[in-house]
Amino acid sequence: MSGVKQYDRTALLELAMDLFHRQGFHATSTAELVSELGVNRKSMYAEFGSKQGLFDAALDHYNATSLTAVLAATEADDAGIDAIRSTFAGFAAASEDWAQGRGCLLCNTAIERAVLDQASGDRVDAYFERLHTAFRSAIAAGQRAGELRPEADLDDLAAYFTMALVGIATLAKGRADPDRIHAATRVALTVLDANRPVGAG
């Protein structure tokens, strides 16, 4: 039937997201996208407007799917400091598997595109804010539970863990030795121990 789409938008976004994740925006040509997505150029432009439009949609899809899965423990309603440990341990483990040479798509975008493109920059800003909010909420819960000193600064700690997770993702993108990524993760998490109440545990 004429005019009926012969493709699924979500499936296209999954394919585009994977290609951008592996290669980045600049190294991915329109010809590669057409080949990878299995649609003609006209259909791709009709659906997404441009390569940039497709990239923006892929970032939004990544934020809603992959990043949500990575942050599931820390963003859970009952998240506390154990959730922060779980999130970092999970990403460190991923450096031995899918994250090796890929890292985090939004982190990669922060390096490659944030200062060059307003739409990408806005999404990166939202990404950093999402990390900060998730960590701050989990840290506050740990503080209420008596697992962290009452005078511990929530914003400072949330900023630190945001920086640490982005750094670990960058190491994974650069194919750093997973043993070193695990080591960096262990050291990063000692900040939680350093902020435990005196005499705890």
Percent of the chain scoring above 90 in pLDDT: 94
Q: What is the pLDDT of residue 200?
A: 63
| Average pLDDT of the chain, as a whole number | 94
Q: What is the pLDDT of residue 2?
A: 46
CA atoms within 13 A on the CB side of 44: 24
Region label for 168, one of left (φ > 0), alpha (ψ between -120 and 50) or beta (otherwise):
alpha
* 1: pLDDT strictly greater than 50: no
* 160: Cα separation from own chain's centroid: 16
Domains defined along the chain, listed by start: 9-51 (1.10.10.60), 65-194 (1.10.357.10)
* 106: pLDDT strictly greater than 60: yes
Q: If you search the block for the tokens 């944030």, which residue do you land on?
A: 114
Q: What is the DSSP string of 27-76?
A: T--HHHHHHHHTS-HHHHHHHHSSHHHHHHHHHHHHHHTHHHHHTHHHHS
